[in-house]
Structure 1
Amino acid sequence: MIRILLSSLALTFVATAATAQVGPPTSQRPCAENRALVVKDGAVVLDTGPSTYARFVNSAAKCLVDQFPEPAWVPSSNNPQCFIGYRCRDSSDEF
Structure 2
Amino acid sequence: MTIRGTMLCAAAIVIAATNFANARPDTRTMTCAQTQALIQSQHATVLSTGPNTYDRYVRQFGNDCDAPYVPMVDYVPTSDGQCMVYRCEQPAPFVPF
Report the TM range for the smaller structure's normalisation.
0.5 to 0.7
Contact residue 56 and residue 88 of structure 1 kept, 8 A: yes
Alignment match, 2:35? 34
With normalisation by structure 1, the TM-score equals 0.67
Deviation at 1:92, TM superposition (A): 6.5
Contact residue 38 and residue 56 of structure 1 kept, 8 A: yes
- 1:1-95 to structure 2, matched below 5 A, reads 19=20, 21-23=23-25, 25-58=26-59, 59-79=61-81, 81-84=82-85, 86-91=86-91
* Structure 1 unpaired stretches of 5+: 1-11
Question: What CA distance in whole angstroms lies between the structure 2 residues aligned with 1:57 and 1:36?
Answer: 11
* Structure 2 unpaired stretches of 5+: 1-12
Residue type matched to 2:45 in 1?
Answer: V
Residue type matched to 2:69 in 1?
Answer: Q
Contact residue 46 and residue 56 of structure 1 kept, 8 A: yes
Q: Percent identity?
A: 34
Regions of 4+ moved over 6 Å: none
The structure that has the greater radius of gyration is 2
Q: CA RMSD in A?
A: 2.4
Deviation at 1:66, TM superposition (A): 1.1
Q: Secondary structure at the match of 2:73?
A: strand
